[in-house]
């Protein structure tokens, strides 16, 4: 079944100064898949036809479809065309347990990868000093990563750890908690605050979502058993493929 051609009109997806055309087209189609406008099994217009409808070059269409294939949203069948596979697989994570992204993905049989955006020793910001109980002359290890599962970008996480607990931030490749456990400094409890924010610019680009997409932001402060704050993490999570759940029980009288 061929998808509705009107969905790909240029005025519906292209915005000047909001990134390359192929990425904007790819993100638009991904959003149409996520909200059900393009259902599983729908055939995208042929490359030449889609280029004409969207008013772009065939190279632009080719690159946009390649992005969708890499994200696991579209399948290309030789001699037949490009077909929608359906929305990206949703992932659940409990708000009530301290499980790392890597461990959560492994438990679901998915391959977790991390792309390091920034990593090093820094002077803490006022918010980091307050949350982690640090003085201005102390250093923190700051690690910012793009977290993916099976090649699909899922979250951006920025973590700050006191430098005495993590003197070598370059030791963190995939799992921060795994590195902290080696020295007995992984948090045993945490306070998390969940809000909704709109992402733009580089954040939207890295997460492969349209500009101004509303996503989940979780700010977490992790504590050691003795009460010392040991981790401050801000995470941005794609709501189209991430579900956070919590268990609620009645209070004891």
Q: Which CATH class is domain 5-84?
A: mainly alpha
For residues 15 and 24, the answer to whether their CB atoms sit within 8 Å is: yes
Task: Reply yes or no on whether the pLDDT at 247 is more than 80.
Answer: no
Question: Does the pLDDT of residue 111 top 80, yes or no?
Answer: no
- pLDDT tens per residue across span 52-107: 999 999 999 999 998 888 767 788 888 889 999 876 666 666 666 666 777 777 76
User: Domain residues of the chain, as ranges?
Assistant: 5-84, 91-245
More confident residue, 197 or 67: 197
> Do 252 and 99 touch, CB atoms closer than 8 A?
no
The answer for residues whose C-beta is within 8 angstroms of residue 23's C-beta and 6 or more apart is 64, 67, 205, 208
Specify the pTM: 0.64
- Shortest CA distance to 27 belongs to which of 13, 6, 47, 42? 13
Report domain 91-245's class.
alpha beta
CB 210 within 8 A of CB 28: yes
- Which position has the higher pLDDT, 173 or 140? 140
What is the spatial distance between Cα 236 and Cα 146, in angstroms, rounded to a whole number? 10
Q: How far apart are CA 100 and CA 108, in angstroms?
A: 13
Structure-block tokens of residue 15 = 């915005």
- How far apart are the C-alpha atoms of 242 and 167, rounded to whole Å? 32
Kindly report, residue by residue over 116-150, the tens digit of the pLDDT.
Answer: 999 999 999 999 999 999 998 999 999 999 998 87
């Amino acid at each position: 079944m061929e998808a509705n051609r009107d969905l790909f009109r240029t005025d519906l997806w292209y915005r000047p100064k909001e990134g390359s055309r192929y990425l904007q087209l790819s993100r638009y189609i991904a959003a149409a898949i996520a909200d059900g406008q393009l259902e599983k099994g729908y055939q995208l217009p042929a490359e030449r036809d889609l280029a004409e409808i969207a008013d772009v070059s065939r190279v632009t269409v080719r690159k946009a479809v390649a992005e969708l294939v890499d994200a696991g949203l579209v399948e290309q069948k030789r001699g037949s065309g490009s077909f929608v596979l359906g929305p990206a697989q949703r992932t659940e994570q409990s708000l009530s347990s301290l499980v790392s992204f890597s461990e959560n993905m492994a438990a679901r049989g998915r391959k977790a990868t991390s792309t390091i955006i920034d990593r090093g020793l820094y002077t803490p910001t006022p918010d980091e000093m307050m949350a982690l109980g640090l003085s201005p002359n102390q250093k923190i290890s700051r690690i910012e990563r793009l977290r993916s599962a099976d090649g699909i970008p899922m979250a951006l996480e920025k973590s700050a750890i006191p430098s005495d607990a993590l003197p070598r931030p370059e030791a963190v490749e995939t799992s921060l908690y795994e590195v902290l456990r080696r020295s007995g400094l992984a948090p045993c409890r945490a306070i998390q605050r969940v809000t909704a924010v709109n992402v733009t610019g580089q954040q939207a680009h890295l997460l492969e979502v349209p500009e101004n997409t509303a996503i989940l932001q979780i700010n977490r402060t992790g504590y050691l058993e003795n009460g010392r704050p040991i981790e401050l993490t801000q995470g941005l999570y794609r709501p189209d493929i991430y579900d956070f759940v919590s268990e609620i029980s009645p209070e004891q009288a």
